[in-house]
Structure 1
Amino acid sequence: MRRLLGRLRPGARLAVDPACGDPLLAELRAAAGGGDWAAVRAGLARAGDQGDLTTMVAQVADVAGVEEWIPQAVAAEPDSALPLLVSGARQVSWAWEARSGSRAQYVTREQWQLFHQRLETAEEQLYQVAEREPEWLGPWYFLQISGRGESLDKEAATYRFEAAVRRFPGHPASHRQRLQQLCRKWGGSHEQMHEFARSSMLGAPEGSQLGELVALAHLEHWLDLERGADAGHITSQPVRLQLAEAAQRSVLHPGYVRGRGWAATHNTFAMVLSLAGERNLARAVFAQLGDTVTKSPWDYLSKDPVEAFRLARKECA
């Protein structure tokens, strides 16, 4: 993990917010942590559309312990696709927890076995949801993540992404998963990744959240380079121009509409623009964020994401 240089004295009361500053997501996470399916179901019923529902299910699936009580909810509602979607999504998240964030050579045999067992369960459940609710986005979004773990061939991975965006064109999270699929570490290339990011941004209306893909692509490229080369890449003039364009077409555009979990996108732009030396633009993004800190991507800079956020914000002030 890259370490952030410098240290700050304790300042504002900042803390990582897994709910991205969203009260409804915070309520859902609390209900999920308490094993309260009735409250979780009621919260999910407040989703505005399929994209919103998928974001909310992903938040529930991120909560430890959901796997302990969701089977009872599935059994109690055998004809309902919703608890099965939550279960499948949790199996995906739980699988990646078993694998850990270590590089493949450091993952133990037992971890790999658990990883694949949980992904197999997830795939079975998510395909059942897709059959019951053909118009739902959710199963196809989570199948993109499980498929990457199962090392699906390129055609199958493409099919899952296309199935998702047919149901919800322009879905930001599905585009993020596709970007991951095209990263060099997953068998793609920097060229494929950057082409997808830029073409997606330019193919969307100005003010679209898809501008974030350009920032994410350069973040992935930066992470893939050795120390020294990474800074040379992210601070190069062509990259700075691309990042400025992406910010101005998305989070800093007058027509930008904040979706559920918007703060995660803003944190990404704040960090990448800071790394690139685009301090004026980064300062504008920080101003919109306030004190809402997300773990990612700041954990790439420090074991303390809050410290990384605070230092970057101070340097851009």
Structure 2
Amino acid sequence: MALLRDWGLTLGKWAGRPGVKVQRDSGDPDVQRVRDAAEAGDWAAVRAVLEARPESEDRTELLWAVGDTAGVERWIAPVLEAEPDAPLPLLVAGIRHISWGWEARTDALAKHVSREQFDVFHARLRTAEQWLYEVAEREPGWSSPWYGLQITGRGLEVGPATARRRFEATVRRAPHHLGAHQQQLQQVCAKWSGSHDEMHAFARTAALGAPGGTLLGQLVPYAHIEHWLALDSGADAAYIRRPEVAASLREAADHSYRHPDFQRGRGWLQLVNTFAMAFSLAGERNGARECFEAADGRVTESPWYYLDGDDPAAAYRKMRSVAGR
């Protein structure tokens, strides 16, 4: 499910030795608050948390906390009937159906997914699309429905042109929406409908075209990690140890977390973990050490699960040791 969303972070789950913990959310207390309300089927409490946030990327993590909660599809149905003109219940229902669809499909390779699973997956995504388009019509300034449509679009294989239009619709409303850029990065990578060159060009243009200090700098190391993952053993190390890869990582770091305007707000921990892994693979010990010092033992599942899917913290500790931390 990591490909679907913001390469998200759950506070408090300790993994490995003391001092290292895996985090699967940003630490925002409203995330657990809205998740508890969703588990209880308390729509009034869910709505209160969501409406307290501006309709922008600030709502993204909260919406997915609700959408990933089992049973939301049951209690949101009567809410839709009771509030037929309200956009927020439709948005919640749409996001839930995206997550619910991927639950049916599972994260297995396509060859291991049955026809019946794909039928349920596609049906739920089509329902989500219907509701998300309704939200977009009712609230033309909202970015959230378009971000959701980026995700349904990849699941339904709408093609690169439609995917690009959905991405552009999201960023017209929220220009530096990290999730939207991450979804488009996946769309243009070689394993979907693009190529390594297209992926790197998109990552660099988006990262360096944004104001200094934003989270979009993360796109550059993630693109290099995606490229590295696509290569066979031997070729992968040769690629990521190229001098031009290290140079591009340093350039992106200078424009993101090293920039004087950078602030440790929501999402900063994901960014330094991604740079830590990319610098480590590239053999850039100084850059890696800098990021490990900033993370201070707080591990985000992505991207470390690419090195150890069972224990991301173990991969983090190993690379941290190599970097001399």
Q: TM-score, with normalisation over the residues of structure 1?
A: 0.90
How far off its partner does 1:123 sit?
A: 0.4
Superposed, 1:86-105 pairs within 5 Å as 86-105=92-111
- Match for residue 192 of structure 1 among 194, 198, 209: 198
Moved more, 50-59 or 118-127: 50-59
How far off its partner does 1:183 sit?
A: 0.8
2-structure distance, mates of 1:279, 1:157: 37
1:312 alignment partner AA: M
Instruction: Identify the residue that residue 315 of structure 1 maps to in structure 2.
Output: 322
1-structure distance, mates of 2:104, 2:196: 28
- Match for residue 170 of structure 1 among 172, 176, 201: 176
Please state if 1:125 is matched with 2:113: no
2-structure distance, mates of 1:283, 1:67: 44
How far off its partner does 1:259 sit?
A: 4.2
Structure 1 ranges of 4+ moved more than 4 A? none
CA gap 1:227/1:30 in 2 versus in 1, 3 angstroms = farther
Whether the 8 Å CA contact 2:73–2:97 is kept in 1: the answer is yes
2-structure distance, mates of 1:258, 1:63: 28
2-structure distance, mates of 1:264, 1:123: 29
Superposed, 1:145-224 pairs within 5 Å as 145-224=151-230
Please state if 1:39 is matched with 2:61: no
2-structure distance, mates of 1:118, 1:178: 22
Please state if 1:285 is matched with 2:291: yes
Q: TM-score, with normalisation over the residues of structure 2?
A: 0.88
How far off its partner does 1:158 sit?
A: 1.2
**Could you say what secondary structure the match of 1:47 adopts?**
coil
2-structure distance, mates of 1:235, 1:30: 45
- Match for residue 113 of structure 2 among 86, 94, 107: 107
2-structure distance, mates of 1:214, 1:233: 15
1-structure distance, mates of 2:88, 2:215: 27
1-structure distance, mates of 2:105, 2:43: 27
Whether the 8 Å CA contact 2:178–2:215 is kept in 1: the answer is yes
**Where does structure 1 lack aligned partners over 5 or more consecutive residues?**
1-8
CA gap 1:87/1:190 in 2 versus in 1, 3 angstroms = same
Q: Percent identity?
A: 52
RMSD between aligned alpha carbons?
A: 1.9
**Where does structure 2 lack aligned partners over 5 or more consecutive residues?**
1-14
CA gap 1:149/1:177 in 2 versus in 1, 3 angstroms = same
How far off its partner does 1:129 sit?
A: 0.6
Instruction: Identify the residue that residue 257 of structure 2 maps to in structure 1.
Output: 251
1-structure distance, mates of 2:33, 2:134: 28
How far off its partner does 1:13 sit?
A: 5.2
Whether the 8 Å CA contact 1:20–1:292 is kept in 2: the answer is no
